[in-house]
Amino acid sequence: MIRVIDSHTEGEPTRVIVEGGPDLGEGTVAERALRLEQEHSAFCQSVLLEPRGHDAMVGALLVEPSRPDCVAGVVYFNPVGNLGMCGHATIGLAVTLGFMGRIKEGQHRIETPVGVVEITLHADNSVSVVNVESYRLHRDVQVDVEGYGVVTGDVAWGGNWFFLTDDRPCALKLSELTRLTAFSLSVRKALEKAGITGRDGAWIDHVELLSSAHSEDADARNFVLCPGGAYDRSPCGTGCSAKMACLAEDGKLDAGVEWVQESVIDSCYRLSYQPGERGGVIPTVTGRAFVTAEASLLFHDADPYARGITA
Ligand code: PYC
């Protein structure tokens, strides 16, 4: 039996595993994250995939932090593998920890596989996340995408690797999900084929399409393809962090000035940044999360889909 608490952050779901997860042994959260990915992929798929979940869901396995200044350690994963950081899931985790009575309103630190992030839990279900240092690796990269032609974009890190582009096949709206997803999948495939990667050969697993905002209250809009084939319902915390790094380097946004990023479902994050120590930016991402369920996942020996439905 696995005990979970589900939430959504600006529409994007998170499933926090609070009890019954695999024993990942000793070490830093990064070391234990590696063990989860290498030795427990069946567990990750069984808790996230249909029939218990769906492929847009992100899992957050609570673990003991290795650092005394952190209230919790967490490993984020989706049905494809681990995520380094996850902005929406960190907001969901903060609200969940509040719901569990493990933290109160105010500032706390969380250990993730890619570094420590700071969260501030506010009274109105909103959370501000001070993310890891984010930076642009390559500007104006051109890639030939089968069926679409040359697409130009930036490669940037916001806790995960992103290809960010203003090129898009249609408007960024919910009724165009099929075309947006097909285009983004083709871009990712073309990047792989062309050998375009993040630092140290890392897979660019997220594609972020950008446009002007639909609402007067927002600065820009995005559609983000996550590592499988699912899109982010929220404006994607790590994707927004990568975007902050690009805006800062292009001189389009000063430190401390607010930027509002809108998602393809019209939900928003409020963003700003401070200069980082290594030439990048330290983004702050603010959004709201709401707990939607508290449940025990049950697994029956005779259930042919106990491990989830996979291709
Ligand atoms: O919010 O960083 C994020 C995120 C990554 C994948 C899904 N959401």
State pLDDT tens for residues 202-235.
999 999 999 999 999 999 999 999 999 999 999 9
User: Does residue 261 surpass a pLDDT of 90?
Assistant: yes
For residues 242 and 209, the answer to whether their CB atoms sit within 8 Å is: no
Alpha helices in the chain (DSSP H): 29-39, 41-48, 87-99, 177-193, 237-249
Q: What is the pLDDT of residue 29?
A: 97
Q: Tell me how far the alpha carbon of residue 301 lies from the centroid of ligand 1, in angstroms.
A: 33
Q: What is the pLDDT of residue 281?
A: 98
How much is the average pLDDT of 250-277?
98
User: Does residue 184 surpass a pLDDT of 90?
Assistant: yes
Question: Within a 13 Å sphere around the CA of 273, how many CA atoms are in the beta-carbon half?
Answer: 31
User: Does residue 1 surpass a pLDDT of 90?
Assistant: no
How much is the average pLDDT of 239-246?
98
Q: Which residue's CA is the nearest one to ligand 1's atom 8?
A: 236
The finding on whether 232 has its CB within 6 A of some atom of ligand 1 is yes
Terminal Cα distance for the chain, rounded: 25
For residues 7 and 14, the answer to whether their CB atoms sit within 8 Å is: yes
For residues 275 and 282, the answer to whether their CB atoms sit within 8 Å is: yes
Q: For the segment 19-50, what is each residue's pLDDT rounded down to a tens digit? A: 999 999 999 999 999 999 999 999 999 999 99
How much is the average pLDDT of 121-150?
98
User: Does residue 280 surpass a pLDDT of 90?
Assistant: yes
Q: Tell me how far the alpha carbon of residue 89 lies from the centroid of ligand 1, in angstroms.
A: 7
User: Does residue 116 surpass a pLDDT of 90?
Assistant: yes
The pLDDT > 90 percentage for the chain reads: 99
Q: What is the pLDDT of residue 297?
A: 97
Beta-carbon contacts of residue 178 (< 8 Å; ≥ 6 apart): none
Task: Tell the burial category of 225 from Cβ atoms under 10 Å away from its Cβ (0-12, 13-18, 19+).
Answer: buried
How much is the pTM? 0.97
The finding on whether 87 has its CB within 6 A of some atom of ligand 1 is yes
d(CA 225, CA 39): 26
The pLDDT > 70 percentage for the chain reads: 100
With cut-offs at 50, 70 and 90, classify the pLDDT of residue 243. very high
The finding on whether 88 has its CB within 6 A of some atom of ligand 1 is yes
Cis, peptide link before residue 13, omega less than 30° from 0: no
Handedness of CA 191, 197, 201, 204 (dihedral sign): negative
Greater model confidence, 1 or 17: 17
The finding on whether 58 has its CB within 6 A of some atom of ligand 1 is yes
Average pLDDT value for the chain: 97
Q: Which residues pair with 77 in a beta bridge?
A: 59, 82
H/E stretch holding 118 reads: strand 115-121
Q: Tell me how far the alpha carbon of residue 251 lies from the centroid of ligand 1, in angstroms.
A: 25
With cut-offs at 50, 70 and 90, classify the pLDDT of residue 195. very high
User: Does residue 262 surpass a pLDDT of 90?
Assistant: yes
CB atoms within 10 A of CB 109: 15
Q: For the segment 49-101, what is each residue's pLDDT rounded down to a tens digit? A: 999 999 999 999 999 999 999 999 999 999 999 999 999 999 999 999 999 99
The finding on whether 235 has its CB within 6 A of some atom of ligand 1 is no
Q: Which of 75, 83, 188, 285 to mutate to test the pocket of ligand 1 (most atoms within 8 A of CB)?
A: 83
For residues 157 and 242, the answer to whether their CB atoms sit within 8 Å is: yes
Q: What is the pLDDT of residue 311?
A: 82
Would you state the structure tokens that stand for residue 178, as one six-digit string?
């099929």
